[in-house]
Amino acid sequence: MEIPVLRNPFRSAINPFVREADTQVIQWVQHHGLATDAQWAEGYRASRFTWFAARCFPDADLPQLSLAAAFNVWLFLLDDSCDEVPTGQKYEYVRSLATDLSLVLAGYPVPAAATTAAMAGPTVAAAAGPIAAPMGSTLATALEDLWARLRQISTPDWQEHFVRGMYRYLDACKLEAQWLDMEAWPSLAAYTRYRPYLGAVHLEPALAEVLCGHHLNPVQRKDPRIEILTLLCCNVVCWSNDLFSLDKEWANGDRCNLALVLAHEREYDLEDAIREAAALHDHDVARFAALAEEVLAGAAAGAAAGLNTGPLATTPALVHYVHALQHIVAANMDWSIHDTRRYRFTFGEARSTA
């Protein structure tokens, strides 16, 4: 599928530990039983998920990069497991899986292997086959390992922040499952509100805080500039991903895609919807780049004047965080274009921005 050339002012670097981390992630997936068939490793290598993490976190050491890559692979596997459940039964599967995962985040032991299938009911378990029971259980066990490793390198404040982000993600997954089961179109307003959480993109900035040891304080996280900058980062990644994955989602009859929602709600043909989705992406990229520059310029001016004190100060951790957001935006673009074979798209002519 042809899409417009997207605005891309940032460039990513690849972490030098990417290949070692990739090997460790494959071993981790196999250890936790997340590889569901013999073809998984081949598909995994074609998708090159570790390269996405390596572009997001180019300065992380090997253990940190392996942790980030494993978490991202876990997210992709969770999403794929939901896709395998038949329409009409997705919500019950996601609801029961979300319950198991929430218990893990709260510190409870991983439920028994049959819990996810039992809570979903015999119809779901029978229809979904190997996905509902074993995959739900192994996803919970794998999250238990990831969460233990994340707690070792983080503060209690960050852990609360991350858990809230995970709850937002799981709530968005349940909402999407309801839309799919009902074969209902989300409104554009609802879709754009929930899409950053549905893709779990909001968890990447949270990971950036701990992977290199630059924690924001709670006041900094709630600074309006940082909240807006983080949301714009997530939006940019989501809108570009919707365009990159459009061919696959169109073929699968999916509805949760910005271009498809635009086409439905505004009665566009697909080509016009693609153009508008690209324009929304580029608009948010411009806003993100301008605000990031403003925050970094303010940090430099404050440091020169000796004013960077107090909880609202632009500290080195905050500067690192802004750079991390830029890495994430660039990583998604470069990984989708240069690394992975998960998507099928080509770029058309560049659009005029006049």
pLDDT digits 0-9 by tens, 240-282: 999 999 998 887 778 899 999 999 999 999 999 999 999 999 9
Q: What is the pLDDT of residues 137-171, one digit of tens each?
A: 899 999 999 999 999 999 999 999 999 999 999 99
Ranking 8-17, 257-266, 306-315 by mean pLDDT, the lowest is 306-315
> Which phi and psi (to 5°) does residue 93 adopt?
-65, -50
Give the Å distances, CA to CA, from 197 to 35, 164, 202, 276: 25, 11, 6, 22
Q: Which residue has the higher pLDDT, 45 or 225?
A: 225
Tokens of 239: 């809108």
CB-neighbour burial class of residue 350 (10 A; exposed 0-12, middle 13-18, buried 19+): exposed
In degrees, rounded to 5, the angle at the alpha carbon of residue 221 between the alpha carbons of residues 218 and 225 is: 145
Q: Which residue has the higher pLDDT, 40 or 128?
A: 40
Q: Give the bridge partners for 132, in sequence order.
A: none
Residue with tokens 């905050």: 318
The percentage of the chain sitting over the pLDDT mark of 90, rounded to a whole number, equals 68
CB-neighbour burial class of residue 313 (10 A; exposed 0-12, middle 13-18, buried 19+): middle
Which residues have C-beta within 8 Å of that of residue 37, sequence separation ≥ 6?
none
Q: What is the pLDDT at residue 113?
A: 56
CB 169 within 8 A of CB 238: no
Tokens of 345: 């798209």
Is residue 38 helix, strand or coil?
coil
Model confidence at 307: pLDDT above 80: no
Which residues have C-beta within 8 Å of that of residue 321, sequence separation ≥ 6?
205, 208, 209, 214, 216, 220, 226
Domains, the chain, in order of start with CATH, read 2-347 (1.10.600.10)
